[in-house]
Structure 1
């Protein structure tokens, strides 16, 4: 597993490095709630992407690495945890019955992010993407109930899956330490100049709040 994980992590970092030159600072209003996938992520700590790095840069890497962990846990579950696998299979069947899946097929840079922007005070949305998806979900029959014994057995298998995920996550973070230098170099090359340019522009705007060419200024 170790060699396989090393290959997968290396490919994930390579893909992120190939994408990073296309990154641009977001111009829309930032979100109030932190990203649950990136906030305090040990994956980002392993490669040195701290709070001073824009979230879009962080999210593209953390999502790719999460996919590796999820894939390993899925393989372990299929081989060792039959009750949990059965539940996942039933949930997958429900998902296939949905006619509207707005969160499916997204690029890694957008996976796991909220589907709708933060609402503006006093300007409610007529509808939201998340709301439309919930309406579709409500029309799909719920999964059959479990007995108390089945629930206890399922909780045990979920605990085993969590333990395995934590083990894989720690191993992935150890592997990522070997990629820290090139991740930091890429941030220095592609991200920091754009942030510096934004700060320079902000400084000029604060020093000259009115356009000298505007006759009404």
Structure 2
């Protein structure tokens, strides 16, 4: 498994490095809520991506690494955890029955990101993508209830899946240590100059808030 994980992590980092030159700072208003996938992520810490790096850059890497861990856990679950696998299969079938799935099929840089921007104060949206997705989800019948015995057994299998995910996560973090230099070098080359340019523009606008020719 270790060699396979090394290959997967290396490919994920390579894909992120190919994407990074296309990254540009967001010009829209930032969101108040933090990203639970990236905030305090041990994966990003192992990769040497600091909290001062723009979130879009962080997210593009963390979501690719998360996909590796998710695949490993899915394979483990399919082999060893029949009750949890059956529950996941039912949920997947329910999801496929939804008529509207805006969060699926996205590029890694956008996967897991909020579907809608923050509304402007006093100007709520007439509709949102998330709201439309919730409406489509409400049309699908709920999964059948489980007995208390089944719930207990399912919780045990979920615990085993979590333990395996933590083990794989630690392995992945160890592998990422060997990629830190090229990750940090790419950030210094493609990200930091853009951030510095933004700060310089902000400084100029604060020093001269009005056009002197007006």
Distance 1:51 1:31 in 2: 16
Partners of 2:213 and 2:34 in 1: CA distance: 40
Deviation, structure 1 residue 60: 0.1
Alignment of 1:19-168 (within 5 A): 19-168=19-168
**Deviation digits for residues 184-214 of structure 1 (CA, Å, limit 9, x no counterpart):** 0000000000011111111111121111233
TM-score by length of 2: 0.99
In structure 1, C-alpha distance between the alignment counterparts of 2:109 and 2:77, rounded to whole Å:
27
Q: Quote the Cα distance in structure 2 between the aligned partners of 1:115 and 1:139.
A: 20
Distance in 2 of aligned mates of 1:162 and 1:132:
31
SS at match of 2:60: helix
> Greater CA deviation, 197-206 or 80-89?
197-206
In the aligned structure 1, how far is the partner of 2:196 from the partner of 2:147? 59
In structure 1, the residue matched to 2:179 is 179
CA distance, structure 2, for counterparts of residue 66 and residue 127 of structure 1? 31
The separation in 1 between residues aligned to 2:143 and 2:154, in whole angstroms, is 14
1:55 offset after TM fit, Å? 0.2
Structure 1: runs of 5+ lacking an equivalent: none
Question: What is the CA–CA distance in structure 1 between the aligned matches of 2:84 and 2:123, rounded to whole Å?
Answer: 43
Task: Write out per-residue CA displacement over residues 32-57 of structure 1, whole angstroms, 9 at most, x where no aligned residue.
Answer: 01000000000000011111100000
| Aligned counterparts of 1:177 and 1:17: Cα–Cα separation in 2 | 16
Scaled by the length of structure 1, the TM-score of the pair is 0.97
Q: Quick check: 1:197 aligned with 2:197?
A: yes
Matched, 1:18 2:18: yes
Q: How much has 1:118 moved relative to structure 2?
A: 1.0
Q: CA RMSD in A?
A: 0.7
Quote the residue 1:206 is aligned against: 206
Q: Could you tell me how far apart the structure 1 residues matched to 2:130 and 2:40 are?
A: 25
Instruction: Quote the Cα distance in structure 1 between the aligned partners of 2:192 and 2:58.
Output: 14
Off by >4 Å, runs of 4+ in structure 1: none
